């Protein structure tokens, strides 16, 4: 193989790798970019229809209490009860429910399926993040 062919193959390889590594199969069969999965709560509040029924990751302030499990844009939104800046959260069976309280009243990152048509307890929240499969502290 001549050097010109090797150089062309090398550049084709460089172009292909980013597309390959930034997609993942979601359980619905839908392909979503990993870059698009991690979004801000501001985007979710502003354009919920864009993320409806999609797997998302968000960072926010988590509150866990009876009839009040939600992730908020900021701690102050929780303290001032600005519920439209919050999303109801429902955890999958894969999450250890006994260990949840160590994340209470902390900033966390969660991954789950967003549903803009469900609004949590008494319909007060901006939507729901359901079937949460990732819950980690955010520092």
Give the range of the structural domain holding residue 24, as residue numbers without chain letter.
1-34
Q: Which runs of E-coded beta strand occur in the chain?
A: 23-25, 31-33, 55-63, 70-72, 86-91, 106-115, 128-137
Tens-digit pLDDT profile for residues 26-61: 444 344 455 568 999 999 999 999 999 999 999 999
Which domain CATH number covers 54? 2.40.50
Kindly state the tokens that stand for 74: 């900021």
Number of domains composing the chain = 2
Q: What is the rounded radius of gyration, in angstroms, for the C-alpha atoms of the chain?
A: 19
Q: How many residues does the chain have?
A: 139
* Cα 36 from Cα 75, distance rounded (Å): 25
Are 51 and 11 part of one and the same domain?
A: no
Cα–Cα distance for residue pair 93/70, rounded to 1 Å: 17
Q: Are residues 5 and 47 in the same domain?
A: no
Q: 70-107 pLDDT, tens per residue?
A: 999 999 999 999 999 999 999 988 777 778 999 999 99
Place of tokens 């292909």: 16
Same domain for 75 and 53: yes
């Amino acid at each position: 193989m001549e050097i010109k062919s090797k150089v062309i193959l090398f550049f084709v390889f460089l172009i292909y790798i980013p597309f390959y590594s930034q997609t993942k199969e979601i359980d619905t069969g839908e392909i979503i970019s990993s870059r698009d999965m991690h979004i801000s709560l501001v985007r979710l509040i502003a354009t919920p229809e864009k993320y409806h029924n999609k797997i998302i990751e968000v960072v926010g302030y988590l509150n866990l209490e009876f009839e009040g499990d939600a992730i908020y844009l900021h701690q102050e939104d929780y303290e001032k009860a600005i519920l439209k800046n919050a999303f109801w959260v429902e955890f999958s069976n894969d999450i250890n429910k006994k260990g949840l309280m160590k994340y209470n009243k902390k900033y966390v990152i969660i991954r789950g399926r967003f549903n803009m048509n469900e609004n949590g307890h008494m319909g007060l929240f901006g939507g729901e993040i359901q079937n949460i499969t990732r819950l980690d502290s955010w520092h």
